[in-house]
Structure 1
């Protein structure tokens, strides 16, 4: 009889083990936990006091309502991009990533584990920031705050994915931080926070159209204006999620061992 070799069945164990390891590291890093959960809420509180005395049209939205709902998408994106890029780069410089890539752990398992762990942290971050904004600071929107939480969470996940991708091009944690003004700052300028996107110069509008933060802000603005979820909101949200998936795929393609 000729023995046939059975193909090994794919296992979720490496992915789950990676996710558990990253969550355990996050839990033991109290400063990172504080930055994820507390900093966006504190910045929203600061924004509230900045606009507290600002004049606004009678019976119209306050400046805090206009700017604050966009910031609920921008702040999680910034924080999660920064933390993820630094955390992954730390794995590289410490040699942990080098050792992991010599094991049967696949690149997809590794990135999916990182993405899942930080996405759970992003969900907690979005929930806390929205709870403080709507519950304590009185942020008002026509739509359900639950949609804001969902959009903020997906946008934070996109920040995680882009942080993982950016870490592939950095050799030190400092270089990972340097990607922030390159990747994040232009998106803040062109996402519609400072100037409505349809009022941008004609040559800047196409650039704005290929930036995920633009679609996150557009989706949040849809929630601020409409009592029900709109088709445009779902399309914008799908675009942000698509950016996250593409960034993860590119991150897997650029993930490789670094030999001396």
Structure 2
């Protein structure tokens, strides 16, 4: 199974055109994370900050800039792929010279472009209008947010392979995404979890994305730990895409 550059490019363009014509999905991808950041700001607006500590909004918001793209892109991608299968489009596409890698690569690239726009807008709102501050460069936050969104895309593609309907695709959210939200360090520091839960947390990619963002929050320059965590997330993306290609079915039985 080899990727054809010309067919892959055509697949990417096709998906981008479909995405452009689906205004509700575009609005969900671009606006939902930014609007939730605004909601988060007003939630913590009146919470006092003890002397010498980071404001609670800054501490939570930097993490949510990585979590929200992951969640949104997981939902959008898993539903979009399942829609292709249930409509018969997937079966027709795979009867052409289009390979599974061409299809999944096109999805990954198209939604990664959307993820980059999403991350840039959410970070622009957070840093430009909501006065979010970090020690590190905003560019690192955007980079990690994009990689995290691509992680959501890859896991969404993988989840869609096991779903028969769009509703079933959504049902994978509490199985794949919610445990990562609970154990990534947002609610309780990972080193304070019971040991068995810490082991599970160490096996989940979102934990490393959150840790990378926390590094940016407190260090003025990129750290070795940040790069290590980012590399681990990229590795999870590649593994998830490979598994998605291996499990992709032409039709829903």
- When normalised by structure 2's length, the TM-score is 0.98
Deviation of the 1:243 alpha carbon: 0.5
Higher helix residue share: 2
Q: Which moved more, 1:174-183 or 1:59-68?
A: 59-68
CA distance, structure 2, for counterparts of residue 115 and residue 63 of structure 1: 34
Counterparts in 2 of 1:34-113, with a 5 A limit?
Answer: 34-113=27-106
Counterparts in 2 of 1:181-192, with a 5 A limit?
Answer: 181-192=174-185
- Which residue of structure 2 aligns with residue 30 of structure 1? 23
CA distance, structure 2, for counterparts of residue 104 and residue 44 of structure 1: 43
Q: In the TM superposition, what whole-angstrom CA distance separates every residue of 1:46-82 from its partner, at most 9, and x where no partner exists?
A: 0000000001112421000000000000000000000
- Is 1:125 matched with 2:114? no
CA distance, structure 1, for counterparts of residue 17 and residue 34 of structure 2: 23
- Is 1:225 matched with 2:247? no
Q: In the TM superposition, what whole-angstrom CA distance separates every residue of 1:143-164 from its partner, at most 9, and x where no partner exists?
A: 0011000000000000000000
CA distance, structure 1, for counterparts of residue 3 and residue 241 of structure 2: 20
Contact 2:88–2:251 under 8 Å retained in 1: no
- Is 1:138 matched with 2:107? no
- Is 1:253 matched with 2:246? yes
CA shift in 2, pair 1:239/1:10, >3 Å? closer
CA distance, structure 2, for counterparts of residue 11 and residue 257 of structure 1: 19
Between structure 1 and structure 2, the one with the greater Rg is 1
CA distance, structure 2, for counterparts of residue 10 and residue 233 of structure 1: 31
CA distance, structure 2, for counterparts of residue 73 and residue 56 of structure 1: 23
CA distance, structure 2, for counterparts of residue 209 and residue 140 of structure 1: 28
Q: In the TM superposition, what whole-angstrom CA distance separates every residue of 1:86-117 from its partner, at most 9, and x where no partner exists?
A: 00000000000011111111111110000000
Q: In the TM superposition, what whole-angstrom CA distance separates every residue of 1:6-53 from its partner, at most 9, and x where no partner exists?
A: xxx974111011100100011111111110010100000000000000
- Is 1:173 matched with 2:166? yes
CA shift in 2, pair 1:21/1:169, >3 Å? same
CA distance, structure 2, for counterparts of residue 249 and residue 58 of structure 1: 49
CA distance, structure 2, for counterparts of residue 259 and residue 120 of structure 1: 28
- When normalised by structure 1's length, the TM-score is 0.95
Where structure 1 has 5 or more consecutive residues not aligned to the other structure, the ranges are 1-8
Q: In the TM superposition, what whole-angstrom CA distance separates every residue of 1:194-216 from its partner, at most 9, and x where no partner exists?
A: 00001110110010011111000
CA RMSD of aligned residues (A): 1.2
- Which residue of structure 2 aligns with residue 210 of structure 1? 203
CA distance, structure 1, for counterparts of residue 29 and residue 136 of structure 2: 25
